[in-house]
Amino acid sequence: MTTTFPPSSAGPPDKVALGAIGWMRKNLFNSWLNGILSLVILYFFVSIGLSLFQWATTTAQWEVIPANWPLYFAGRYPSEQYWRLWMIVGIIATLSGLSWGVLARNSPKVYGIGGLFALGGLTLFSFIAPTPIPYRLLMVGMVILLAATTWVGHQAGRSVPSLGKWVSFAWMASFFVVMWLMAGGFGLPPVSTNNWGGLLLTLFISVVSIFLCFPLGILLALGRQSTLPVIRLISVLYIEIVRGVPLIAILFIGQNMIPLFLPTGIRPANVLRAIIGLTIFSAAYLAENVRGGIQAIPRGQIEASNALGINSFLTTLFIVLPQALKVSIPAIVGQFISLFQDTTLLSIVSILELLGIGRSVLANPNFIGRYWEVYLFVGVIYWLFCYLMSLGSRRIEKSLTTSH
């Protein structure tokens, strides 16, 4: 005889809509300890917030930022050559817009909520930035360029499937164009690297270092995994020694010992020495991240590839590395964010990147003691860049996840 069960009440339980008081009771005050803790934290934050607001509007002297605005962003770049920097911003805006459009080609909305917020924020910033009006108009123009190329990329990405490859190729070509525009030569008046500074120099050093440390890091990771004892020993020695020494020691060596190591008479620019130091340092960390990715690939992949008759070099190139790099993307982007933050150490070896410019502005007798204003401004710039990069990394990770 089958047992019949009484009919259960239909549907899932009702969702209780909590009002504001109910939400506070559930999340903030649900026990005595929590209640006291919530009150203490609220009091703490309200008092700090009020005193911060009071400081920001009364005792803080914000002139230190508008007065040195070009210094923060371009260092001592000659002002009559600023049009070259604006061309670089234009090229980057165009390519970023195209890449964004191509990456988002499958979504129905072109921009998405986050994108609209970002565009709105940029426009707002262009309106309130303390620069002369023509530059503000130029910035608004760049934002419009970004939005337009995103739309173009979105539309074209659907009709031309291989647009992504062309955009990647354009990024690589743009690197050389940007270098030509920044440094001069071949028809443009040259600007010495000693005059580069501020956010321009920070971005340049970070991008070049990460670009150069990629091949070196991958070679070291493969070398460490290798079965050949000599190569393995050299890779391990390099990675362990470079990871054991603080970055500032490597930067000092870069500044002081590179002229010693080269034949007499050759004195590379300070910026070049800094880039070499940062590349050597990042390659060791990148090698460890990529090694983690390589170890995550099941042995069956290599065995299947050998069974197909593919030799080990091609196996590594076409089977192992693409999968390893995809797995280690979060770690690699984390490494890039650390590298971006580590460029601040260059201010100790007297290279005037963004933090170095901040310190030299503070050494100006007119602006003595304006620590909080300058460091807050510089800190917000760094925070924005790093936070956006980490958001982008989560996005890339999500879009490349092929597992279900």
Partner 1 sequence: MVPNSDREEKIPIWRDERFWKIALQVFVLVAVILIVSTLFGNAFRTLQQQGRQFNFNFLGNPASFNIGESVIPYQAQDPYWKAFLVGLVNTLRLILVGFVLTTVFGVLTGIASFSNNWLLRKLSQVYVELIRNTPLLLQLFVWYFGVVFGLAGNEPRQILGSFFITKLNGGGVFIPWMASTSTAYISLGLLVAAIVALFVIWQWRLKIMETQGASGKPQQMAMLVIGAIALLLLVIGLNWQTPQPNETGVITGGLRMSLEYAAILGGLFFYTGAFIAEIVRAGIQSVSRGQWEAARALGLNAGFVMRLVVFPQALRVIIPSLNSQYMNLAKNSSLALAIGYPDIYSTASTTFNQTGRPIEVFFIIAATYLSINLVISLVMNRLNQSVQLMER
Interface with partner 1 by CB under 8 A: which residues?
27-28, 30, 34, 37-38, 41-42, 228-231, 234, 240-241, 244-249, 252-253, 256-257, 260-264, 337, 341-342, 344-345, 347-348, 355, 359, 371-372, 375, 378-379, 382-383, 386-387, 390
Q: C-beta of 329: minimal distance to partner 1 in Å?
A: 17
Closest CA to 198 of 349, 67, 359: 359
Kindly state the tokens that stand for 117.
Answer: 């917020």
Q: Quick one: 42 or 116, whose CB is closer to partner 1?
A: 42
Which DSSP letter does residue 80 get?
Answer: G
According to DSSP, residue 227 is labeled S
**At closest approach, how far in Å is the CB of 142 from partner 1?**
24
Q: Which is nearer to partner 1, 117 or 127 (CB)?
A: 117
CB of 395 to partner 1, least distance (A): 16
Q: Residue 89: which of 141, 32, 38 has the closest Cα?
A: 141
C-beta separation of 291 from 240 below 8 A: no
In the complex, minimum distance from the CB of residue 249 to partner 1, in angstroms, rounded to a whole number: 5
CB of 274 to partner 1, least distance (A): 15
Q: Which is nearer to partner 1, 98 or 355 (CB)?
A: 355
Which CB, 131 or 341, lies closer to partner 1?
341
* CB of 356 vs partner 1, minimal distance in Å: 10
Residue 137 or residue 388: which is nearer to partner 1 going by CB?
A: 388
Question: How far separated are the first and last CA of the chain, in Å rounded?
Answer: 43
Our CB check for partner 1 shows the closer of 140 and 396 to be 396
Three-state SS at 69: helix
Query: Residue by residue, what is the 3-state secondary structure of 315-382?
Result: HHHHHHHHHHHHHCHHHHHHHHHHHHHHHHHHHCCCCCEHHHHHHHHHCCHHHCCCHHHHHHHHHHHH
